[in-house]
Amino acid sequence: MDKGDEQAACNGDQHEADPIDNMDENAAAKEKLTAADPNKVKFTSVNLDGYDGKNGEAKVDIHVTQTTVGMGKEELLKYANEPFWVRLRMFLFIFFWVAWIAMLVGAIVIILLAPRCPPAPRLKWYQKTAMYQVDVETFKDSDGDGIGDFKGLASKLDYLKDQNVGTVMLSAFYTSDSDTDAIVKHKEVDSRFGMLEDFDELLNQLKEK
């Protein structure tokens, strides 16, 4: 057998196989995917460049079925005009405003009936400002003898005023023995702190401040 006969035999075998392939494709196209599948699949042959679609090309068309959940607009309008739903909406509308007005009135009544705050107590003079206790002996020395005195205290009154001090309490400054608390003369000031005139001047400046 020459080469021409072999080629013709091969071509003949190929043409004989084509009907079988076409039968398989047609059977596959007609087979259902699933019995309960709502989506439809359609196979169609594709004609490319004048061919009749025998080379296995196919076009698949999938039709997806959409299911609607709930009621549509027309159904809603149908139920919206029913007497039951109309009365229910009216009841809820009236109930809302009645409840809102009741809460408003209740809040106003609570404010009006709430107990008033008690008036501020009247304070004593010593309760209105700060009090500062001064040890005259160690506070301020004006003459350089190492002991505080009335003039040294008087020179610091502006400082005490800046500290919002309204009352100054002095330590014992009367004539005493070696113990400063052991006062022997209640009408004389200790000479270490100054004269009685210095004390009177300190009192006058304290009253002015």
DSSP code, position 140:
-
| pTM listed for this prediction | 0.41
Closest CA to 198 of 134, 160, 165, 152: 152
* Low pLDDT (below 70) residues in the chain: 1-69, 178-181
pLDDT at 113: 94
pLDDT at residue 50, rounded to an integer = 52
pLDDT at site 208: 86
pLDDT given at position 20: 45
Q: CA 58, CA 43: separation in Å to the nearest integer?
A: 6
Residue with tokens 């003039």: 151
